[in-house]
Amino acid sequence: MPRHHQKKGSAPGGSQRQLRVGELVRHALADILAHGSVHDADLEGHIVTVPEVRMSPDLKLATIYVMPLGGRDTDIVLAALDRNKRFLRGEIAHRVNLKFAPEIRFRADERFDEAERIEKLLRTPAVQRDLAPGEGEEQ
């Protein structure tokens, strides 16, 4: 009789196992990229960060969020990683002990853009006016 530990609507990032395997895949990929193991002209001039890896519940699909340092040439870097997907999957399989090597897909990490958008909003005059203490208010 199988036991199901994950309930509907549980942890937003997935189960403990998904999070743990995602971190292992993230570290393995970051190590591969840091050592320059991928020989691709489009990747050579870029330092790529891997802030997050999300695993599917069956651990057969890894969605890898990447961002080139400085946020430039994101499309070029994603295309280069997609071209080398087969090699990277094999390298990850050697470094992370799983029953199946997960399929991998790359996505641009948009958290930095979102944080910048919020920062710009906070600096607008209307928000600054609302945040400034008004007359009669104590600081």
Domain spans, the chain: 16-131
Q: What is the pLDDT of residue 24?
A: 94
DSSP output for 53-120: EEE-TTS-EEEEEEEEGGG-SHHHHHHHHHHTHHHHHHHHHHHS--SSPPEEEEEE--HHHHHHHHHH
pLDDT (tens digit, 9 = 90+) per residue, 109-132? 887 777 778 888 888 888 788 777
**pTM across the whole model:** 0.72
Q: Tell how strand 61-68 and strand 48-55 pair up.
A: antiparallel
Q: What is the pLDDT of residue 99?
A: 86
CA dihedral defined by 94, 97, 103, 109, rounded to 10 degrees?
-90
Measured between alpha carbons, how far is 94 from 90 in angstroms, rounded to an integer? 6
| 16-131 homologous superfamily | K homology (KH) domain (3.30.300.20)
Q: What is the pLDDT of residue 6?
A: 47
The low-confidence residues of the chain, meaning pLDDT below 70, are 1-13, 134-139
pLDDT (tens digit, 9 = 90+) per residue, 4-20? 454 554 556 678 999 99
